[in-house]
Chain A
Amino acid sequence: QSALTQPPSASGSPGQSVTISCTGTSSDVGGYNYVSWYQQHPGKAPKLIIYEVSKWPSGVPDRFSGSKSGNTASLTVSGLQAEDEADYYCSSYAGSNNLVFGTGTKVTVL
Chain B
Amino acid sequence: QLQLQESGPGLVKPSETLSLTCTVSGGSISRSSYYWGWIRQPPGKGLDWIGNIYYSGSTYYNPSLKSRVTISVDTSKNQFSLKLSSVTAADTAVYYCARLYYYDNSAYKYYFDYWGQGTLVTVSS
By a beta-carbon cutoff of 8 Å, the part of chain A in contact with chain B is 1, 3, 32, 34, 36, 38, 44-48, 51-52, 57, 89, 91, 93, 96-104
Contact = CB atoms under 8 A, between A and B. Distances in A.
Interface of B is mostly: strand
Contacts of B46: 3, 89, 101-104
Contacts, number: 66
A33 B98 CA distance: 21
Interface string B30-58: 00000001010000011111001000000
Interface of B: 37, 39, 45-49, 52, 60, 62-64, 96, 100-101, 108-113, 115-118
B47 A46 contact: yes
Contacts of A104: 45-47
A76 to B, nearest CB: 18
B3 to A, nearest CB: 11
A98 B117 contact: no
